[in-house]
Amino acid sequence: MKISDVLSPELTRCDFSGRSKKRIIEALSQLLAEHLNSGHELSERLFDNFVAREKLGSTGLGKGVAIPHCRTSGVKKIHGCLVKLTHPVDFDAIDDQPVDLIFALVVPEEKNDEHLNTLARVASIMQNDDYRQRLRNCAEDVTLFNTVLELERGNNL
């Protein structure tokens, strides 16, 4: 699936804050649950699933990027959430550098192929030095949203 299929302007934030990996994951879970018009139960389930996935190995890719992702019941399609943190946080990344760009993915339990394809598309953009800098230069939510879609189109994904 394309990033444009999973990301919406409402789930794209430029000045996202949190003081720790746990607080960021909690805030992402709440934002996603609110967007899906679900309550506290889905938020808690997303948080638990993100944390369980992180226990398998950090989703901090290095160079200031993390792509936390989880499968969960109760969602019908893949949803993405792109945030640029106000202050970088330790995310247990493979290069031990703090993270300031996060693209979270929530995937229905049965969507394995789409999950891997979407994850690969996001990673391909986030691993490019110039693309990361363009995302970091964004000062408004809508600019961040439009930039990531433009980068996806320009990357011929």
* Catalytic residue check, 69: yes
Q: Within a 10 A sphere around the Cβ of 81, how many other Cβ atoms?
A: 24
Burial of 62 (0-12, 13-18, 19+ CB in 10 A): middle
Catalytic option among 35, 40, 69, 87: 69
Please answer whether residues 75 and 43 qualify as being in contact, where contact means their C-beta atoms are separated by less than 8 angstroms: no
String of b and e for 116-149 (b: at least 16 CB within 10 Å)? eebbebbeebbeeeebbebbeebeebeebbebbe
- Which residues lie below 8 Å from residue 18, measured CB to CB, with a gap of 6+? 24, 26, 27, 85, 89
Q: Catalytic residue positions?
A: 69
